[in-house]
Amino acid sequence: MSATVAPPSLLAGRYQLERILGSGGMGVVYRARDLLHEQFGEPCSSVALKVLGETFAECPDAHVLLYSEFALARGLRHERVVRMYGFDVDINRHIAFFTMELMHGMTLDRLLLEYPGGMPWRELQPMAVQLLDAVAYTHRLGVLHGDLKPGNVMVSEEGLRLFDFGLGQSLLTTGLPGLSRGHIGAWTPAYAAPELLAGDALSMAADLYGVACVLYEMAQGRRPGERSSAESLPRPRQWPRHYWPALRTALALDPERRTISVAELREMMGCPWRRWFV
């Protein structure tokens, strides 16, 4: 099954595509109207609909990759994680797609453009806790995100939402076809743990590194960048000194030295000050 960059305006006789919301990774996301729900008087029928992008549409197992993403995230029920709706195929056009809740606001990478020197702690701290809440929740369910970066975080008046599990994996046996994302070469270098770029498997430690890079950028206004060790990184001016050892540990280049979990980092940031020993 395959999809084109510009699929027909109506898919499966039900979903009316309106406009592109974003593209990247392996897919394109559209805003769409669910005409079936409209027919039954549903007042809010808009959804987000994802199809494969041009690069992956011609891959023999592309539809399996798309379904794998849907299946990985469909069991997630958390206010800080995008909600999946359903997987479908337009039989006549051989286009696979899935629908999910339509999120409002802007992505975190766009918001950060307004803070070139880093976000003030009073704004950063609650947002960081929400993001860590989302990742800690997925880890508890054995789900790895795999592509934690500002572009995969939506910001609105209701808070942060994590989305796009296209490079994610499950630590549990799901019965789904085993797909290796390594050949995709889609890791985002600025946020990918060094071991991922070296060809190692995705892990909780790699997710920890990715979310720590996001937090660092929120506080510093720029990414960690090239360095010989986490110890060589300067503490962001907007990041309190007593919280710095924990974030620095999460940014360790060696996964064996990331002796803190996402849940522990979240607990530390959500509590009043206490010393963090590393």
Q: What is the DSSP string of 156-179?
A: ETTEEEE---TT-EESS--SS---
Give residue 4's pLDDT band: very low, low, confident or very high (50, 70, 90).
very low
Residues 145 and 205 sit within 8 Å (Cβ to Cβ): no
b/e sequence 168-184, b meaning 16+ C-beta within 10 Å = bbbeeeeeeeeeebeeb
Quick check: is 207 catalytic? no
pLDDT at 117: 95
Strand 159-162: give its sheet, edge to edge: 106-107, 153-156, 159-162
Asked whether the predicted pLDDT for residue 257 surpasses 50, the reply is: yes
pLDDT at 2: 42
pLDDT in tens, 115-143: 999 999 999 999 999 999 999 999 999 99
Alpha-carbon span 27 to 49, nearest angstrom: 10
Give residue 150's pLDDT band: very low, low, confident or very high (50, 70, 90).
very high
pLDDT in tens, 153-163: 999 999 999 99
Give residue 277's pLDDT band: very low, low, confident or very high (50, 70, 90).
very low
Distance of alpha carbon 15 from its chain centroid, rounded?
Answer: 25
Q: Would you list the domain boundaries of the chain?
A: 10-100, 106-270
- Any idea which of 28-37, 137-146, 176-185, 204-213 has the lowest mean pLDDT? 176-185
pLDDT in tens, 165-191: 989 999 986 555 545 555 455 789 999
In percent, how much of the chain has pLDDT > 70? 87
Specify the pTM.
0.89
Residues 137 and 77 sit within 8 Å (Cβ to Cβ): no
In percent, how much of the chain has pLDDT > 90? 72
CATH of 106-270, one of 3.40.50.970, 1.25.40.10, 3.40.50.2020, 1.10.510.10: 1.10.510.10
CATH superfamily of 10-100: Phosphorylase Kinase; domain 1 (3.30.200.20)
Asked whether the predicted pLDDT for residue 164 surpasses 50, the reply is: yes
Q: Mean pLDDT throughout 244-266? A: 97
The encoded tokens of residue 48 equal 């987000």
Asked whether the predicted pLDDT for residue 250 surpasses 60, the reply is: yes
pLDDT in tens, 56-113: 666 667 788 899 999 999 999 999 999 999 999 999 988 999 999 999 999 999 999 9
Alpha-carbon span 181 to 146, nearest angstrom: 10
Q: CA distances (Å), 21 to each of 7, 32, 41, 53, 166, in order?
A: 14, 10, 25, 13, 16
Alpha-helical regions (H) of 224-278 = 244-250, 262-270
Nearest to 103 by CA among 148, 54, 164: 164
Tokens 């795999």: give the residue.
Answer: 146
β-strand partners of 96: 89
- CB atoms inside a 10 Å sphere around CB 232: 10
pLDDT at 185: 56
pLDDT at 62: 72
Catalytic residue among 147, 164, 207, 254: 147
